[in-house]
Amino acid sequence: MTNIETNGRISRRTFLKQLGLAGVLAGAPSCVRKGDGDRPGHGPMTCRTDPKTGRAVSVLGYGCMRWPPAAEPSADGCPIDQDTVNRLVDYAMGHGVNYFDTAPIYCQGWSERVTGIALKRHPRDSYLVATKMSASDDLSPENMTAMYRRSLADLQVDYIDHYLLHAIGGGGMDMFERRFVANGMLDFLLAEREHGRIRHLGWSFHGDIDVFKRVLDMHDTIHWDFVQIQLNYVDWRHAAAYNSDWQAALGDNANAEYLYGELARRNIPVFVMEPLLGGRLANVDQNVLADMKQKRPGHTAASWAMRFAGSLPGVLTVLSGMTYMEHLKDNLSTCSPLEPLSVEEQGFLEDVAVRMAGNRYIPCTDCKYCMPCPYGIDIPAIFLHYNKCVNNGMLPESSRHDGYGQARRAFLIGYDRSVPRLRQAAHCIGCGRCASKCPQGIDIPSQMQSVDRFVERLRRDEP
């Protein structure tokens, strides 16, 4: 069992000991089903053993939130490129990935259906599928059970391997009670687990730490089979700090070290989301990338982040939303097999995290839960552009700085290219409809104002 220090943090010694354990885990059974002579990496996919079923789970899990868009929606309105999804799923499974995570609200509501079509072409016992009871304006038992049954239908399965109470934490314990207790949904889901139509019952967490503690306390009676948390080398110790330098209205996530430690001490399997922080850790600034390349030539920034999350014992799978084949191949290469971090590498990533924590990111992970905005604002695209400039060291902060003119031009041209004018922050009316939907706790209306003020200042070329 993990030794948690009294202040809730895991000591460096303990963490490194865990990394040693991870080395043992790396020798766990392989999930690879076939060889095709085209294997990224240099061996079989690393797998972890599910303590409940004894089944091997690939350390790389497929997050189905970012499926590739089609050039044109299909006749039934589906905006996703099903043929490409089929190819990605086939390739992933052919190279050892056996865990797929979706949700009713992903991809504007199309992810489950598209994922189900792709998976249906494979034997049911060759993959594990996870989906969720997402938030809804209508929390009636009729509507919520209909959501659950639609998941089974869209995924074309008669049981769900991993079912999650989706994104608990936002809205405090009151919201948890309303979403799952008062309407009888928790009892319903427990009965479904009893009947075997849900094989594992768990939850994903964002936000209010009190909810995390209180739902975790239910473990004694409910026996959660797993919990999904946001975990990466920045959020490990700097989840709250890395956004504190920007305006006060930013989100305030819990440190992953604490969340992981609480789960580890109860032996609850951990599923990791956002190992790349919405792609930010795959696109680190040039100086960080140069240091990474010097230490591990030929390896990407994403591979460092995947190895950080995958090195921890008790982590069964690390979810990555791989839109394109190059993302999939890179992650396969990292996880086949996954090489646990060395002592020196772990220290290096903590140093990188400290450097990044000083940057003024908006902690958007591009999950799109806030979309669509009724006024057409492209919220994630605005934040992504801003963060990209932070990442590249091209945020034009003061005309007194060297390179300000070049950075100013690059920011404004990039903004107009990334976000059509009518969808930019200037057109946000501050209605607040998006605010409660953000799992990162970002005060979106306030951030829109901040970004707009920043852009206007650049446009007027004020110092």
Query: Is residue 370 within the footprint of ligand SF4 (CB under 6 A)?
Result: yes
Stretch touching ligand SF4 by CB under 6 A, among 18-26, 42-50, 127-135, 422-430: 422-430
- Tell me how many residues contact ligand SF4 (CB under 6 A): 28
Q: Find the shortest distance in angstroms from Cβ 259 to ligand SF4.
A: 18
Query: Is residue 422 within the footprint of ligand SF4 (CB under 6 A)?
Result: no
Query: Is residue 281 within the footprint of ligand SF4 (CB under 6 A)?
Result: no
Residue 84 three-state SS: helix
Q: Find the shortest distance in angstroms from Cβ 282 to ligand SF4.
A: 16
Stretch touching ligand SF4 by CB under 6 A, among 121-129, 177-185, 188-196, 431-439: 431-439
Stretch touching ligand SF4 by CB under 6 A, among 36-44, 54-62, 121-129, 423-431: 423-431
Q: Which is nearest to 391 in space by CA: 348, 365, 356, 417?
A: 356
Stretch touching ligand SF4 by CB under 6 A, among 133-141, 349-357, 360-368, 393-401: 360-368
Q: Residue 386, Cα to own-chain centre: how many angstroms?
A: 19
Whole-angstrom Cα distance, residue 23 to residue 302? Answer: 20
CA distances from 57 to 30, 97, 269, 336, 421 (A): 9, 8, 11, 13, 45
Beta strands (DSSP E) in 65-205 are 99-101, 128-133, 160-168, 198-205
Residue 160 three-state SS: strand
Task: Answer left, alpha or beta for residue 269, where phi above 0 means left and psi between -120 and 50 means alpha.
Answer: beta
Among 434, 451, 455, 458, which residue interacts with ligand SF4 (rule: CB under 6 A)?
434
Site string for ligand SF4, 376-405 (x = CB under 6 A): -x-xx--x----------------------
Among 428, 451, 455, 458, which residue interacts with ligand SF4 (rule: CB under 6 A)?
428
Choose between 349 and 364: whose C-beta lies nearer to ligand SF4.
Answer: 364
CA distances from 246 to 282, 352, 401, 435 (A): 22, 19, 19, 18
Q: Which is nearest to 104 in space by CA: 116, 94, 118?
A: 116
Among 327, 368, 385, 423, which residue interacts with ligand SF4 (rule: CB under 6 A)?
368
- How many CB atoms lie under 10 A from the CB of residue 187? 12
Q: Find the shortest distance in angstroms from Cβ 424 to ligand SF4.
A: 11
Q: Which is nearest to 40 in space by CA: 97, 89, 99, 95?
A: 95
Interaction site with ligand SF4 (CB under 6 A) = 364-370, 373-375, 377, 379-380, 383, 428-434, 437-438, 440, 442, 444-445, 448
